[in-house]
């Protein structure tokens, strides 16, 4: 539940900040008449996100077991790719997000009325579809889908409340620090989803090695223990991973964490401007 809560909170905050920037800028340029179109586009994005979640939840039941495993494994890997892209995108574009969105609003205002609807749908729909896919992938590997889904909904509602408080000046906190630490947390969550997806593909005989554990941590982390249940619910932890799952988990965590920390270090390291060389004048010598 905690993992899905933080996923809903983070994605909801991103969407809330985007909506707040768009509304504030339309008000600043005195185009409040476009609010209705913007909210219509946002409504379309929410409906599409809910539709994606419904299809992921009930659609696979008509498939065979092998097809369900292949679909589940593939979508889990796609979810990991999307959330990884989201983590790095927010880290590199967060500082200039407001300027980028204002430019998109200016371009949309100069076009047809539908451009504002499309801008609202795309800006929020990306976050909504990412949330639906990643929460589904995380819930699919957990033991309590209802609890996991409830956590995501609570996270989104919390994000809505925080976004409203920020827009009214009632809530102040360091968003950069929040996104940095939740990004590191989501790397571990995504690694668990990746391992789960690999396991699905192994069960479907797409990847060999199912039923051959690389090692066993059952003695240290019994599946029925409270901490085993907690680790399984948050990180999709399995005490007996296959070699493919173990290698996939370790490789993803090592590579993604190294790249993420490198990006953060590059972002926080101040760049020293290169001094411009001053031209030196060569004295003109007279031959007289």
Whether residue 249 contacts residue 195, with contact meaning beta carbons closer than 8 Å, is answered with yes
Instruction: In whole angstroms, give the CA distance from residue 123 to residue 18.
Output: 7
Residue 252 within any structural domain of the chain: yes
Tell me what percent of the residues of the chain surpass a pLDDT of 70: 82
pLDDT digits (tens, 9 = 90+) for 83-119: 888 888 777 766 666 777 778 888 887 776 678 888 8
Instruction: In whole angstroms, give the CA distance from residue 256 to residue 84.
Output: 8
Residue 210 within any structural domain of the chain: yes
Instruction: In whole angstroms, give the CA distance from residue 103 to residue 128.
Output: 22
Residue 184 within any structural domain of the chain: yes
With tokens 């401007």, the residue in question is 273
Whether residue 191 contacts residue 245, with contact meaning beta carbons closer than 8 Å, is answered with no
pLDDT digits (tens, 9 = 90+) for 175-208: 677 778 888 888 998 898 899 899 999 999 999 9
> With 80 as the cut, is the pLDDT of residue 69 above it?
yes
Residue 275 within any structural domain of the chain: no
pLDDT digits (tens, 9 = 90+) for 239-288: 999 999 999 999 999 999 999 999 888 876 665 555 555 555 445 454 44
**Number of domain units in the chain:** 1
Higher pLDDT, 125 or 44: 44
pLDDT digits (tens, 9 = 90+) for 142-159: 656 677 778 888 888 888
Question: Which pLDDT score is estimated for 236?
Answer: 82
Residue 147 within any structural domain of the chain: yes
Instruction: In whole angstroms, give the CA distance from residue 18 to residue 6.
Output: 18
Residue 287 within any structural domain of the chain: no
Residue 72 within any structural domain of the chain: yes
Closest CA to 260 of 186, 192, 195: 186
What is the pTM assigned to this prediction? 0.73
Residue 232 within any structural domain of the chain: yes
- Give me the domain span that covers residue 210: 2-267
Q: What is the mean pLDDT of residues 12-35?
A: 83
């Amino acid at each position: 539940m905690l993992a899905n809560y933080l996923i809903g909170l983070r994605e909801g905050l991103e969407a809330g900040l985007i909506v707040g920037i768009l509304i504030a800028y339309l008000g600043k340029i005195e185009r409040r008449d476009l609010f209705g179109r913007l909210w219509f586009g946002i409504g379309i994005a929410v409906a599409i996100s809910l539709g994606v979640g419904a299809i992921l939840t009930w659609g696979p039941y008509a498939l065979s077991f092998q097809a369900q495993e292949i679909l589940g494994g593939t979508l889990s890997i796609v979810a990991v790719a999307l959330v990884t892209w989201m983590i790095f995108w927010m880290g590199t574009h967060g500082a200039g997000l407001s300027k980028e969105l204002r430019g998109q609003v200016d371009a949309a205002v100069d076009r047809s009325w539908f451009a504002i609807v499309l801008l609202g749908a795309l800006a929020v729909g990306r976050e909504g579809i990412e949330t639906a896919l990643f929460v589904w992938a995380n819930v699919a590997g957990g033991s309590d889908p209802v609890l996991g889904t409830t956590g995501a909904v609570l996270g989104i509602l919390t994000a809505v409340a925080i976004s409203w408080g920020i827009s009214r000046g009632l809530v102040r906190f360091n968003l950069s620090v929040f996104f940095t630490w939740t990004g590191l947390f989501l790397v571990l969550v995504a690694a668990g989803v990746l391992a789960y997806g690999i396991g699905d593909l192994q069960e479907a005989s797409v990847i060999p090695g199912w039923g051959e554990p690389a090692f066993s941590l059952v003695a240290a982390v019994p599946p029925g223990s409270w901490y085993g249940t907690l680790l399984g619910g948050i990180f999709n932890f399995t005490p007996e991973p296959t070699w493919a799952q173990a290698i996939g988990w370790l490789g993803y965590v090592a590579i993604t964490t190294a790249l993420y920390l490198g990006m953060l270090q590059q972002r926080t390291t101040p760049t020293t401007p290169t001094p411009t060389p001053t031209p030196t004048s060569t004295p003109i010598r007279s031959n007289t």
